[in-house]
Amino acid sequence: MVFGEFAFPLLQAQPVQQPYWFVGPLLSVLLLVVLIIIALKFGKFIVALAVNSLVGLVLLFLLNFLPFLEIGINLWSILIVAFGGIPGLALLILLDLLGIAF
């Protein structure tokens, strides 16, 4: 009786053949192309929103030095200006001048 490597040929490790080895890289490239198309299509809009929010936040901090505006810089005012931009800042100024908030 032989107990060498030829005695049990079915127990030897066989290489696994994967017929769809190209699916993962293909889907990755497809996802990358879709993301590039979305970025090119909506890129200008996203940049405009980011600039609007940044200008609003800078103006919030600069307007806080004016003596007649007492807008408290807290989480809510920063979130309103970050999401609303300049119109959000105008809303905060209006609420402060009317004495409704802050």
Task: Find the angle CA(97)-CA(99)-CA(101) to the nearest 5 degrees.
Answer: 105
Task: Please check whether residue 11 lies inside any domain of the structure.
Answer: no
Task: Please check whether residue 48 lies inside any domain of the structure.
Answer: yes
Task: Please check whether residue 15 lies inside any domain of the structure.
Answer: no
pLDDT at 5 exceeding the cut of 60: no
pLDDT in tens, 44-55: 888 888 888 889
Q: What is the mean pLDDT of residues 32-54?
A: 85
Task: Please check whether residue 69 lies inside any domain of the structure.
Answer: yes
Whole-angstrom distance, CA of residue 61 vs CA of residue 94? 16
In terms of average pLDDT, the best of 10-19, 38-47, 87-96 is: 87-96
Q: Is 18 helix (H, G, I), strand (E, B) or coil?
A: coil
φ/ψ of residue 14, rounded to 5? -105, 140
Considering the chain, what is the average pLDDT of its residues?
81
What's the pLDDT at 40? 83
Whole-angstrom distance, CA of residue 56 vs CA of residue 76? 14
Exposed / middle / buried, residue 98 (Cβ in 10 Å: 0-12, 13-18, 19+):
exposed
Task: Please check whether residue 12 lies inside any domain of the structure.
Answer: no
Domain that holds residue 82: 20-98
What's the pLDDT at 30? 93
* Total count of domains within the chain: 1
